[in-house]
Structure 1
Amino acid sequence: MQTSKIRHQFYLPDDLSRALDELASKPGSSKTAILTDALRAWFDRKASNEIDERFGPRLDRQQRIAQRSEAMLGAIAEMLDLFVAHQLTLTAHQPPFDTETGQLGRQRYQQFIDQVARRLASNRGVPRLIAAIENNDDRKDIA
């Protein structure tokens, strides 16, 4: 009689052999069925590691992209914070535009860029901006 199964012979430690005998003694179960299920489960777990290996680098790359985007968003938020403060306090009463004012504008722009770079390097910018937003939210709750 032709069968679709292949016979295997192997040795089990005494404790595993006793556990297998105990499970196989229950009605409707056999050693072959138990070992088949156990091997399938083990191979399926191995396949999950393959998924991690295949998609892990992609997920790592996406995480790095998200971190760069977050850093860029932090830089933009810091620049906006500094620019608004600059516009509202330092340049409220500027003289009419001429050559001297153009040079002053370029000098102020360079100071602006230097200040943004210093604040980003010290990593103070975003937490300060978030704290200001949270304080405004707290004031709205009081009103």
Structure 2
Amino acid sequence: MSKGNRIKHTFRLPPDLSRQLADYAGRKRVSQASVVEAAIASFLSPDGSERTEAAFSRRLDRITRQLQKLDYHVEVGNEAFALYLRTWLAATPPPSSEPSAALRAGVEKRFENFVEALARHMERETHLADDLTRVDKLGEDQG
């Protein structure tokens, strides 16, 4: 803040705010007038609020893109599971009224195999959503 031409202003502050101003200026070892001047300049500066608004806007845009991507992946997962379930229901006969111990053991083993296969698939770098994106791009290139 320049020490050149200055206009004197007189204003009143509530006692609490006046004490805070005095404490702050004392801790920083600056005059109370310079603290007030800096605060007013900062408050009236359009750059600060515009920068803050731009930063929030960028963050919101990034979060929106992430949510859209998440929504897409959830939709792909739901559709893949529905397709699998329809196929499974069509190919699997209904269970008998009293499943035997051997049948239950077979079911448990098949489920363990399914979980292991799913874990292996999830460890791969490419997933179903990536495959679908690649197929979509191929269709756009040909169309």
TM-score calculated relative to the size of structure 1 = 0.42
Structure showing greater relative contact order (alpha-carbon pairs closer than 8 Å, 6 or more residues apart): 1
TM-score calculated relative to the size of structure 2 = 0.42
